[in-house]
């Protein structure tokens, strides 16, 4: 469990290769621990489907259910993207669909 917490607390920095505005067709560069980069990319592209896929892929590795995985990721000491929690990152990137999903289920 300690290893999972350390991994979740690792910082994932997301940077656009071209323009600073995020869009689904833009490329992204991940710096740091990239094991959970899919979560940051899902938020950056405002893609709830991709976020749900990443949640289901991490069931059993992080927690026993999708809801528990989501709770661990959105905790204050959980996963960070570009130095912010997933919820804060979704606000910064104006990812309204993902933000609504994160706040309604966490």
Q: Provide the CB-side half-sphere exposure for 94 (13 A, CA).
A: 4
Per-residue model confidence (pLDDT) at position 34:
80
Whole-angstrom Cα distance, residue 23 to residue 98? 14
pLDDT reported for residue 55: 96
Instruction: List, for residues 5-51, the tens digit of each pLDDT value.
Output: 444 444 343 333 323 444 445 677 767 668 889 999 999 999 999 99
Phi/psi at 62 (5° precision): -105, -45
Integer Rg of the chain from CA: 13
Q: Which residue in 54, 81, 82, 92 sits closest to 70, CA to CA?
A: 54
User: What's the whole-model pTM score?
Assistant: 0.72
Q: How confident is the model at residue 56 (pLDDT cuts 50, 70, 90)?
A: very high
Residue 105: pLDDT band with limits 50, 70, 90: confident
């Amino acid at each position: 469990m300690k290893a999972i917490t350390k991994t979740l607390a690792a910082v994932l920095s997301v940077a656009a290769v071209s323009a600073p505005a995020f869009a689904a067709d833009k490329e992204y560069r991940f710096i740091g621990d990239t094991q959970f980069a899919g979560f940051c990319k899902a938020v950056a592209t405002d893609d709830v489907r991709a976020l749900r896929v990443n949640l289901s892929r991490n069931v059993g590795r992080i927690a026993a259910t999708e809801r528990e995985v989501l709770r661990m990721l959105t905790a204050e000491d959980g996963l960070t993207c570009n130095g912010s929690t997933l919820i804060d990152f979704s606000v910064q990137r104006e990812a309204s669909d993902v933000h609504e999903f994160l706040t309604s289920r966490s």
